[in-house]
């Protein structure tokens, strides 16, 4: 688990945060359900670290969803972000 602000980590973190809020959970509650330190969950949500598969499975279970749903939401977010970046670059060139 290393420090990273990779776009896919940021998108995954946003997806987890969105699902957590939709479930009406605090970070503390989800961390408890996922049996992990709250600081680690916070850093994952911020996209600051890359989560391990086991951790992601526990987070998904704590959210009451599948890992596939988490990834689908993060891929949608990542694709949207890429489109926005491309749009911003296009404006810079004009």
* pLDDT given for residue 86 in this prediction: 67
Prediction pTM value: 0.79
Q: What is the pLDDT of residues 50-89, one digit of tens each?
A: 999 999 999 999 999 999 999 999 987 656 666 666 665 5
Cross-strand bridge partners of residue 25: none
36, part of any domain: yes
Looking at the domain assignment, is residue 89 inside a domain?
Answer: yes
Number of domains forming the structure of the chain: 1
What CATH code is carried by the domain that includes residue 46? Answer: 1.10.260.40
Residue 1: inside a domain, yes or no? Answer: no
Domain membership flag for residue 66 = yes
Residue 2 within a domain: no
The CA-based diameter of the chain, rounded to the nearest angstrom, is 50
How many beta carbons lie within 10 A of that of residue 89, not counting itself? 9
Sorting pLDDT into bands at 50, 70 and 90, what band is 92?
A: very low
Domain residue limits at 51? 7-93
- Cα gap 14→27, rounded to integer Å: 13
Query: What is the rounded distance in angstroms from the CA atom of residue 39 to the CA atom of residue 42?
Result: 5
């Amino acid at each position: 688990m290393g420090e990273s602000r990779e776009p896919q980590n940021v998108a995954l973190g946003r997806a987890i945060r969105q699902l957590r809020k939709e479930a009406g959970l605090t970070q503390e509650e989800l961390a408890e359900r996922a049996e992990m330190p709250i600081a680690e969950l916070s850093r994952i949500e911020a996209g600051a670290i890359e989560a391990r598969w086991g951790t992601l499975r526990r987070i998904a279970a704590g959210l009451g969803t599948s890992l596939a749903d988490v990834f689908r939401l993060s891929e949608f977010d990542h694709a949207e972000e890429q489109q926005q970046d491309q749009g911003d670059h296009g404006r810079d060139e004009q």
